[in-house]
Amino acid sequence: MAIGTRLTLNSSGLLELDDNRRPALLIMEDGTTFEGKAFGADTTAVGELVFNTSLMGYQEVLTDPSYAGQVITLTYPEIGNYGVCDEDIESRSIFARALVVRHLSRKHSNHRASGTLDGFLKKFNIPGISEVDTRAITRRLRDQGAMRCAVSTEDDVLTEGGREKVLAALESAPQMAGQDLTNEVTTKEIYTIGEGQTKIAVLDFGIKQNILRELISRGITATVYPARAKAADILATSPDGIFLSNGPGDPAACEDIIAEMKTLIGSRIPIFGICLGHQLLSIALGGSTYKLKFGHRGGNHPVKDLTTGKIEVTCQNHGFAVDEKSMPANLELTHINLNDNSVEGFRHKELPIFAVQYHPEAHPGPHDSNYLFDRFLSLIESHHKVTK
């Protein structure tokens, strides 16, 4: 049973859970305020408030580095009922700033669980707020767009002085547009995993562990580089392919990364990009990006593959998108989002380059798009035959 709860007898003589957790406060940029119950760390956090529609996978969502700088609202009402599991962590830390849920399960039942969600947030000093109307929050974000917010679980949060501190923190929070967050999430050192014959250089802009699992399961040796690795150093190792990972922030703010990417493109080595890698690649090839009103975050986004006519249900987590009108003539639009017709993928007409906006590795989410890793390997093999 979670800390802060106990069993008591109600007036009917029945056992019920008594919730004596401290209060918590969520204040949105437009002044909308929600009072709830605190869990996780006793602190105040600020970030861009967004929503995720996945029914499960809260641990993978929290540890996805693409959420750096953001406060996550989970639309599914019951959260925490299966605890947390060590093997489901997608990165070295929680990079989200805070978590907002409708109801925090006070007990969990899962033979794989190594702890509670409450304890997991405490470990990484992340605050959480529960017992708030997440439907109302989601509707407001859908109608008004993603916006900054502050979440506080400190003891004085409902006092006048406490609220003033929270408001001051909110006012000082930066907007997501213009932020380069890759240094916060990237690896600090080069490392290699896998023992396959195919050598891939991976640029880590905030990579999830399941991406690396998908790569090495296909007989790949992956050498993972920091986000700001020099193209010359990467090319000096003669990789068979280059993978550009997911990550947080505004792609247009990563000017130095884009400059190095242009050199990688000029090498004519096969390149596959996803999420932030997809956006950075589009800019390096002459396109541009823009900020979506409230983003795509969840495990149920329909995408159409224009090259086959097939529909994929995809896992997504992004707040920026490629501007289709900006795409140069040598890029072919290959995938579109069926909810809003935004760009979900492209390929180069002359070079061995392709990219998608969504997450083919899922975790959590559907596995409809796993074939893209196989397509990358096929592209590498075809390139080898041509260049021999």
Mind telling me the catalytic residues?
A: 275, 359, 361
C-alpha 327/C-alpha 350 separation (Å) is 14
Q: How far is CA 13 from CA 6, 8, 18, 20, in A?
A: 15, 9, 14, 20
The answer to whether 37 touches 131, Cβ cutoff 8 Å, is yes
Pairing of strands 289-305, 311-322: antiparallel
Label residue 273 left, alpha or beta by phi (over 0 means left) and psi (-120 to 50 means alpha): beta
C-alpha 297/C-alpha 275 separation (Å) is 12
C-alpha 66/C-alpha 329 separation (Å) is 30
Q: How far is CA 170 from CA 173, 220, 284, in A?
A: 5, 45, 34
C-alpha 2/C-alpha 107 separation (Å) is 6
